[in-house]
Amino acid sequence: MQTPAPNPPVNNSPPPSVNVATNARIGGSMGVKNIRSGPGTAYGVVGSGVTGEGIDILDSGYDSGGYLWYQVYHPASGVTGWMAAQLVN
């Protein structure tokens, strides 16, 4: 009988206070990054952007695993959605 793996810790702290930022950029390694309909990979892709393109940060939230996500507006495509914080500079 196997012992079930423990659940990852849940981040119960409120998301950081976010002011709308108009000088943010898509970061990470070069390439196309997904913009999702909600804060987490379980949400569908509603658009995409390329590393270095400008985005506006509108809000923030955590996914069920406790990872920080930003709600962004991507002016190049007109899409509003969510990107993992690690992909935002």
Per-domain residue ranges of the chain: 21-87
Nearest to 46 by CA among 87, 83, 86: 83
Task: Assess whether pLDDT exceeds 80 at residue 8.
Answer: no
Q: What is the pLDDT of residues 59-83, one digit of tens each?
A: 999 999 999 999 999 999 999 999 9
pLDDT on residue 46: 98
Place of tokens 């012992």: 3
Nearest to 86 by CA among 12, 43, 34, 21: 34
Global pTM reads 0.77
More confident residue, 20 or 82: 82
Mean pLDDT of the chain: 86
pLDDT on residue 6: 56
**Class of 21-87 per CATH?**
mainly beta
